[in-house]
Amino acid sequence: MKQHTVIDSPYGPLTLVADDGMLCGLYMAGQRHRPPEETFGERDASPFGEAMDQLTAYFAGELREFTLELRLHGTPFQRGVWDRLRRIPYGETRSYGELAAALGNPGASRAVGLANGRNPVGIIVPCHRVIGAGGGLTGYGGGLDRKRRLLDFERGTALFF
């Protein structure tokens, strides 16, 4: 059974989705590849206490690594990419090529980018920490402005807090 809630954040409203009580989605307003609202289940905040606590601590600058148990729905390759994303340290970045090499397939940077774009749990699975080979900001489902703001926040250079 799916449930969802909406919380405020410095990046706009975030929709949290749970599947049988486990977090399976975190979506920003206007996010690319955001599932239709009717797939989120009934609105009920009860399964999200720990997720909300950790997100609050993250946005306050008090949490650098999420420890939430997630239920991620995707192909084995996508889940492998998402697992690698969770290993990128707070405040650091990796290129798509570096992630592909870490997965044992250095020629798969484009596939890594596609899997990154389908990440269903943004921020917690930090797809914003992936950049282009030349160090530039490239596509982000939540928009490049949000990506830049998240990276600036993690580097301690954000101006909006």
CATH number for 119: 1.10.10.10
Do 121 and 51 share a structural domain? no
In tens, the pLDDT along 80-99 reads 999 999 999 999 999 999 99
102 and 36 share a domain?
Answer: no
**Residue 24 belongs to domain with CATH number:** 3.30.160.70
Q: Whats the size of the chain, residue-wise?
A: 161
Do 89 and 41 share a structural domain?
no
Find the domain containing 99 and state its range.
76-155
Cα–Cα dist 50/45, whole Å:
11
Q: Which residue has the tokens 């950790």?
A: 54
pLDDT at 145: 84
Look up tokens 């596939």; give the residue.
Answer: 111
Confidence grade of residue 159 (pLDDT, cut at 50, 70, 90): low
Cβ atoms of 118 and 33 closer than 8 Å: yes
**What residues contact residue 60 under an 8 Å CB cut-off, 6+ apart?**
none
pLDDT over 80 (residue 18): yes
Question: What's the pLDDT tens digit per position in 95-118?
Answer: 999 999 999 999 999 999 999 999
Which amino acids are annotated catalytic?
127
Same domain? 55 vs 80: no
